[in-house]
Amino acid sequence: MVNHTEITPVSGLRGRHVIDDASLQRSEYLALLDLADALAANAAARTTQPLLPGRVIACIFEKASSRTRLAIEVAAARHGARAVFLDTSSQLGHKESLEDTVRLLSATCDAIAFRGNRQTDLERISTASDVPVFNMLTDMWHPTQMWADVLTMRSSTGKPLTDIAYAFIGDGRCNVANSQLLTGALLGMDVRIVAPAGLQPEAAVRQRANVLAAVSGARITVSDGLDALEGVDVVSTDVWVSMGEPEEAWAQRVEELRPYRVTADLMRGTGNAGVRFMHCLPAFHDRETVVGAQVAAATGLLDGIEVTDEVFRGPASLVWQQAAARVCTTEALFASAIR
């Protein structure tokens, strides 16, 4: 007989918006992770029981996507729901205002998943919507990525979250760095942002994190020194130039961040023989992409840009576990928040 884990949606999330990483209380966040584990176990045993038959999730995607779109479509399919995607070919912002589009979606769909350019647009959508709105990435935050990251850190280290130390290294102003800082602060973790002084999280983000840390007991470090990596369990990074930034940004960014490139030497420099590596993807770890080849030729970083291929493909890498965790954490969100 195949084991099946009974599923209980996270209490209190029904109909709730997810605007950023602090949209959930700590107890709700932990319950969401536990639910994701249970859903992943059922999927592996092929015992998933559809929880959302007939539901429709409207997906407004202004940015290209692989993992986020796949996670949404697989999560919806497993639970009898359907994801409908609106991209730049729709009337959104062309002949129809954002608010008018949202009111249409609220009247016809059960939830809205937004992956877009501006956090302010997401906030306008949530104000206009009568159904839950989920942040699948904006210029400021990437909360659903962090759910997968935290789940991956918890399972790979075997430690309680409050005992895990992790560091983001690179462009500390990006949405992933913001989310790592806020999430670590919310959950009481040891979170470190390691970046040049001019590329560190803005003051408003750090202030929000400090307020949460005062409650949770989190340890927060923002530093331009590589010594801040000492003893961490996980080193995380992201591409050095984000979607929407001009190509001209690469030249300056590479020079600023070259010392913060994740190499085998940097990993050894943590002093933790069991340190692991994470990346939200896509990654420029080789020259098999157009951008990767162009930047490598221009800069001489022939074995990877923000991370070397040796680290990315090495035994310390958790990148594919992270990517897979996007599915079960998205399932947990849909099962708990969609009416």
Packing angle between helix 175-187 and helix 143-157, nearest 10 degrees? 60
Is 66 part of a structural domain of the chain?
yes
Is 53 part of a structural domain of the chain?
yes
Q: Distances in Å between the alpha carbon of 73 and those of 4, 138, 238?
A: 23, 19, 24
Is 10 part of a structural domain of the chain?
no
Q: Are residues 46 and 71 in the same domain?
A: yes
Contacts of residue 148, Cβ cutoff 8 Å, sequence gap at least 6? 322, 323, 325, 326, 329
What per-residue confidence (pLDDT) applies to 94?
60
Indicate whether 197 pLDDT > 90: yes
Q: Are residues 206 and 281 in the same domain?
A: yes
Asked if 154 contacts 161 with a C-beta cutoff of 8 angstroms, the reply is: yes
Q: What's the CA gap between 276 and 271, in Å, rounded?
A: 12
Q: 12-16, 64-68, 76-80, 86-90: which has the minimum mean pLDDT?
A: 86-90
Is 259 part of a structural domain of the chain?
yes
Indicate whether 90 pLDDT > 80: no
Q: Are residues 123 and 187 in the same domain?
A: no
Q: 6-20, 57-71, 89-103, 106-120: which has the minimum mean pLDDT?
A: 89-103
Residue 244's pLDDT band (cuts 50, 70, 90): confident
Q: What's the CA gap between 126 and 45, in Å, rounded?
A: 36
Report, as an integer, the average pLDDT of 244-265.
90
Tokens of 158: 């075997």
Q: 67-81, 92-106, 164-178: which has the minimum mean pLDDT?
A: 92-106
What per-residue confidence (pLDDT) applies to 204?
97
As for how many domains the chain has, the answer is 2
Q: Are residues 61 and 199 in the same domain?
A: no
Report, as an integer, the average pLDDT of 218-244.
95
Tokens of 102: 């949202």
Q: Are residues 38 and 85 in the same domain?
A: yes
Q: Are residues 187 and 223 in the same domain?
A: yes
Q: Are residues 218 and 330 in the same domain?
A: no
Indicate whether 89 pLDDT > 70: no
What per-residue confidence (pLDDT) applies to 88?
62
Q: Are residues 135 and 191 in the same domain?
A: no
Is 153 part of a structural domain of the chain?
no
Q: Are residues 306 and 166 in the same domain?
A: yes
Report, as an integer, the average pLDDT of 137-163.
97
Asked if 87 contacts 31 with a C-beta cutoff of 8 angstroms, the reply is: no
Q: Are residues 179 and 245 in the same domain?
A: yes
Report, as an integer, the average pLDDT of 321-339.
97
- Phi and psi angles of residue 26, each rounded to the nearest 5 degrees, phi first: -55, -45
Residue 3's pLDDT band (cuts 50, 70, 90): confident
Q: Are residues 165 and 305 in the same domain?
A: yes
Is 263 part of a structural domain of the chain?
yes
Asked if 194 contacts 166 with a C-beta cutoff of 8 angstroms, the reply is: no
Q: Can you say how many angstroms the Cα of residue 100 is from the centroid of all Cα atoms in its chain?
A: 28
Q: Are residues 86 and 169 in the same domain?
A: no
Is 94 part of a structural domain of the chain?
yes
Q: Which domain holds residue 310?
A: 160-232+234-274+276-315
Report, as an integer, the average pLDDT of 19-42.
97
Q: Phi-psi category of 11—alpha, beta or left, where left has phi over 0 and alpha has psi -120 to 50?
A: beta
Is 176 part of a structural domain of the chain?
yes
Report, as an integer, the average pLDDT of 129-134.
98
Q: What's the CA gap between 312 and 75, in Å, rounded?
A: 27
The CATH number that applies at residue 76 is: 3.40.50.1370
Residue 52's pLDDT band (cuts 50, 70, 90): very high
Q: What's the CA gap between 285 and 282, in Å, rounded?
A: 9
Q: Characterize 190-216 residue by residue with b for buried, 16 or more Cβ atoms within 10 angstroms of its Cβ, and e for exposed.
A: bbbbbbeeebbbeeebbebbeebbeeb
**What are 275-327's pLDDT values in tens digits?**
999 999 999 999 999 988 998 998 899 999 999 999 999 999 999 999 999 99
